[in-house]
Structure 1
Amino acid sequence: MTISRRGFLGTGAELTAASLLAAAPAAHAGTADAFRFLSIGDWGRDGAHHQRNVAQAMADRAAADSPRFILSLGDNFYESGVKSVNDPQWKTSFEDVYDQASLQRPWKVILGNHDYRGNVPAQIEYSKRSKRWQLPARYYTHTETLPGGGEAEIFFLDSSPFIRKYVGTVTDISGQDPHAQRAWLDDALGRSAARWKIVVGHHPLYTALGGPGHDQPDLIAALEPVLRRHGVKLYINGHDHSMQYVEMGGVSYVTNGVGSEIYDPGTPSRAGFCLGAHGFLTTSVTREAIAFAFIDMDGKTRFAKSISA
């Protein structure tokens, strides 16, 4: 596996055979036909808002499935990121909450808008202190070999600099160049020979709820043409504190911002899925399909789906 770095300083369930593979608690754990990872977004609240309950559910799932890594979708620390690598939140919101043995594996991290209210370089620097915290740059890639051959490449974005409303606010994106990041993504996707290309960002492009406050027009304009041009099938994000799935233009958009505080999203305006429930996402990747499932803090599967190659 390799890492490349850039940018440093509808409700209901669709349970197919492939999605049941992702959803089953232990039946397929340890098999060699897939690689798995967990995702959690919008979580760092000193254990409050059921953060500890979600952590335990994640630990139970990780013990069964042995995911290769855990993906953190940004807004890692509320309300205003961390002040330094010695900030007490590293213990109270991360180390002492996700302390189970099964969660002592790599955490591949991206930044959220609340992280931009604090010391972003400190979150990057903490990668040198921690055995599991991995944030090598503001945006980067990671490649995994698929059982049976081929690769899946994940492209980790820094989405806050694309959002124009943050300019001149406490979410300090000054000095960041979204045009350079977009060019990097376009080039990296174009050069990738991976069978699966997965893009991850903190903010959504499209949501099942749709409309202002949920969809992000700035990201749609900047990134959607790039995703579609290069055959990206899956985009995973946090930011909206709900579980959501919608397919737009052949891309599956999955919102997973339910690591701690949530809200009741109501009825989706698009065909898809949305739910206000604390939890996380599990993803299983084979040569033939990507299967993902929302798991709540009680360990129940709330929605599952598979994407074919």
Structure 2
Amino acid sequence: MTISRRRFLESSAELGAVSVLAGAPAMAAAGGEARFFVIGDWGRDGKHHQRAVAGAMAAAAVAADPAFIVSAGDNFYEAGVTGLSDPQWRTSFEDVYSQESLQRPWHVILGNHDYRGNVEAQLAYSKLSHRWEMPARYYTRKLAVPGGGAEIFYLDTSPFIRKYAGTVTNTAGQDKRAQLAWLERGLAASGARWKIVIGHHPLYTALGGHGHDQPDMIAAFEPVLRRHQVALYINGHDHSMQYVEMGGIAYVTTGAGSHTYQPGPASRAGYCSGDHGFLAVAVGAAAVRLDFIDARGKSVFGKTLGV
């Protein structure tokens, strides 16, 4: 991955569970390219290679200068946080991602393990932290790059997984129809060249099959993504790094922020690895570049969309 230092500013439209608040116009990226990192499934008190991945991400951030970092959910294992005073805020987040280069906005979504704890505390931490940003359970951010810009739609996917009903993964009271309607409206109204959707759970994976693909997610979201020409869906949940294309959409799994497993070869054409690491994304006018970076700081897989 060829990297130079560029900075850009972002603006956003933040929304609650149903309502949308209008944001300021997005500002253009200097040099015409917007960069961000995505890490999923990480919060383990620095263990299971979490610190190694954090170090690699910090080094990459010095070179790439991403405008923000995305957490793709399962922020704290095994059962979220108990509240704002939970020690995991320090042991799994502040003291692990402590490097200066990581002191930039973190756009955060929820995973199923977060739903075992105090979700409201994760929302409220946004008011205490200079970098933790979770304005709502689902929300949008706009990036302005030449050629139409990009818009990211951050989802709350746990309520869509039927097996969680009545379990310790407490998604009771969450309105799936309202969230789907919000996504439909937002994608329809978006004039972005690149529409990117990020959720915790996958739709399709390179491994495929039971336990990897998520039929509940496919049924709910695939028609919407196709209808509105979404180019890229990014998720965590599966503790691996995977890339696959299905129906003209790139599906990228980046759930390797700490504990992983050895998944074996991909059953579909694509990429699959049990390496620990994170995803680097560079959005330009004509293309989106994706790179999986492992815990040693090495790019282990790259893909360019749009060319």
TM-score for both structures, normalised by structure 2: 0.92
The residue correspondences of 1:192-271 to structure 2 (distance < 5 A) are 192-271=190-269
Aligned with 2:180 (options 168, 177, 182): 182
RMSD, aligned CA: 1.4
Deviations 1:151-191 (A, max 9, x none): 21000000000000000000000001111111110111001
Alpha-carbon distance, 1:149 to partner: 5.0
The letter for the 2-side match of 1:251 is I
Question: One-letter code of the match for 1:178?
Answer: K
1:21 aligns with none
Unaligned stretches of 5+ residues in structure 1: 9-29
Which residue does 1:3 correspond to in 2?
Answer: 13
Residue in structure 2 matched with residue 274 of structure 1 by the alignment: 272
Instruction: Report the Cα offset of residue 150 of structure 1.
Output: 2.6
User: In structure 2, what is the Cα distance between the partners aligned to 1:298 and 1:42?
Assistant: 18
Aligned residue number for residue 155 of structure 1? 153
Give the distance between the partners of 1:33 and 1:305, measured in 2 at CA: 19
The number of aligned residues is 288
Please state how far the C-alpha of 1:5 moved relative to its aligned partner: 1.1
Shift of 1:59: 0.2
Correspondence 1:170 to 2:180:
no
- State the alpha-carbon separation in 2 of the partners of residues 175 and 284 from structure 1: 36
Name the residue aligned to 1:109: 108
Distance across 1 between alignment mates of 2:270 and 2:100: 35
Could you list the per-position Cα deviations for residues 58-110 of structure 1 after superposition, in whole angstroms to 9, with x for gaps in the alignment? 00000001000000000000000000011110000000000000000000000
1:236-282: CA deviation from partner (whole Å, max 9, x where unpaired) = 00000001000000000000000000000011111111000000000
List, as ranges, runs of 4+ consecutive aligned residues in structure 1 with deviation greater than 2 Å: none
CA distance in 1, matches of 2:16, 2:102: 27
Q: Secondary structure at the match of 2:48?
A: coil
- Distance across 2 between alignment mates of 1:120 and 1:98: 21
Question: What is aligned with 2:73?
Answer: 74
Say which SS state the counterpart of residue 250 (structure 2) adopts.
strand
Superposed CA deviations along residues 107-134 of structure 1, whole A, max 9, x for unmatched, are 0000000000000010000000000000
SS of the residue 1:5 aligns to: coil
Q: Secondary structure at the match of 1:247?
A: strand
Correspondence for 1:11: none
Cα distance between partner residues in 1 of 2:53 and 2:13: 28
For 2:80 and 2:135, how far apart are their aligned partners in 1?
17
- Deviation, structure 1 residue 33: 2.9
In 2: Cα distance, 1:266 partner to 1:40 partner: 21
SS in 2 for 1:127: helix
Counterpart for residue 46 of structure 1: 45
Change in Cα spacing, 1:149 to 1:267, as seen in structure 2 (3 Å) is: closer
Cα distance change, pair 60–31 in 1 and its aligned pair in 2 (3 A)? farther
- The amino acid of 2:249's aligned partner reads V
Query: Is the contact between residue 147 and residue 193 of structure 2 (CA under 8 Å) also seen in structure 1?
Result: no
Hey, what does 2:141 align to over in structure 1? 142
1:6 is paired with a residue whose SS is: coil
TM-score by length of 1: 0.91
Return the offset for 1:55.
0.3
What whole-Å deviation, never above 9, does each CA across 1:42-69 have from its counterpart, x for those lacking one? Answer: 0000000010000000000000010000
User: What does residue 288 of structure 1 align with?
Assistant: 286
Cα deviation for residue 4 of structure 1 reads: 2.3
Tell me which amino acid in the other structure corresponds to 2:132: W
Cα distance, 1:31 vs structure 2: 7.1
One-letter amino acid matched to 1:151: G
Which amino acid in 2 is paired with 1:104?
Q
